[in-house]
Amino acid sequence: MTHAIGVDIGGTKIAAGLVSEAGELLKRESEPTPDDATKIPAIVADLSERLAGDDKIVGIGIGAAGFTSTDRTTVRFAPNISWVDEPLAEHVSALTDLPVIVENDANAAAWGEFSFGAGEDTDDLLLVTIGTGVGGGIVHHGQLYRGGFGVAAEIGHMRIVPDGIACGCGEHGCFEQYASGSALVRVARERVANGDRGTEALAALADGDPTRITGPALTDLAHGGDALSIELLAELGRWIGEGLAILASILDPRVIAIGGGVAAAGDLLLGPAVDAFETHLPARSHRPQAEVRLAALGNAAGIIGAADLARTEPV
């Protein structure tokens, strides 16, 4: 059996794993993302060497948050890392003497879920990742859809509120300003700052420091029964569902999987999202409807997907 290495490069952490042909994550290593982006290839090479050991490695797949080239060699732009036209595959391959492909991180996660997770029973999958921002990946007829220039499925920057909240992309009213973990935390902190009714548990969590109100902490409160936290997750779910209805009217996927850190809220998020999706899907009584489900692989999806792409779709 041959193994591949998958790498997920984020703004704060570089995570890597040794992945089998069956999509099993056999070993995992990570390092902080350095401020100096020129050091990243060496870190990826070191992680790969530590993971490989004596195993035969067929290639390295790298998922990076940003725009990647159609030939899967270059990061054209990364919002959280100072990369513009970075030939990442070439740099890592020179250090490891292995074939390397580079893919958008959400695309890699979508491929992982399609191959080994929530999309195993379909050939058409839309993965929506809800974390700090909103990302997406599309598998259509069993193939990863990357668009004409390799930057398809940037769904977080679909405008859903004209002249709405300013987004880091330069636009206003983007989906991720309303349907992300950052949006959830922003609204929670605003409610506490305003002294709204029902904020006692969140205010106690903050204890004078709003930065203590995080998505995971709010989710824990919701699972413990805090009414406001449950309400805020439901509101987030409704925004997600409205966006999914727009995406389904364009893409017509068979399955929509919701992943990312916020998916840890489970049915507290999924239930309102499905309700809003069904309410706002155009002509819903006259068309087949996508099944909305939670992603299955958690934060390993990108590592597993990138590794499988390195094995099955080498440069």
- Mean pLDDT for 73-99 is 93
Query: Reduced to 3 states, what is the DSSP secondary structure of residue 11?
Result: coil
- Mean pLDDT for 146-170 is 92
pLDDT recorded at residue 169: 84
pLDDT recorded at residue 170: 87
Average pLDDT, rounded, for the chain: 94
Q: Which tens digits make up the pLDDT trace of 235-276?
A: 999 999 999 999 999 999 999 999 998 899 999 999 999 999
Q: Which tens digits make up the pLDDT trace of 162-204?
A: 999 999 888 999 999 999 999 999 999 999 999 999 999 999 9
Q: Which tens digits make up the pLDDT trace of 38-73?
A: 999 999 999 999 999 888 899 999 999 889 999 999
- Mean pLDDT for 288-294 is 94
CATH no. of 122-296:
3.30.420.40
pLDDT recorded at residue 312: 86
Between 54 and 32, the higher pLDDT residue: 32
The rounded percent of the chain whose pLDDT value lies above 70 is: 99
pLDDT recorded at residue 315: 58
pLDDT recorded at residue 314: 61
Phi, psi of 314 (to 5 degrees): -65, 155
What ranges do the domains of the chain cover? Answer: 3-111+300-312, 122-296
Structure tokens belonging to residue 105: 């991180």
Q: How many CB atoms lie within 10 A of CB 141?
A: 7
**Equal fold, 3-111+300-312 vs 122-296:** yes
Q: Which tens digits make up the pLDDT trace of 92-122?
A: 999 999 999 999 999 999 999 999 999 999 9
291-294/255-259 β-pairing: parallel
List C-alpha distances in Å: 72 to 61, 75, 156.
10, 8, 22
List C-alpha distances in Å: 19 to 10, 209, 303.
19, 41, 8
Q: Which tens digits make up the pLDDT trace of 3-31?
A: 999 999 988 899 999 999 999 999 999 99
User: Which CATH architecture fits 3-111+300-312?
Assistant: 2-Layer Sandwich (3.30)
pLDDT recorded at residue 2: 84
Q: Give the containing element (helix H, strand E) for 18.
A: strand 13-19
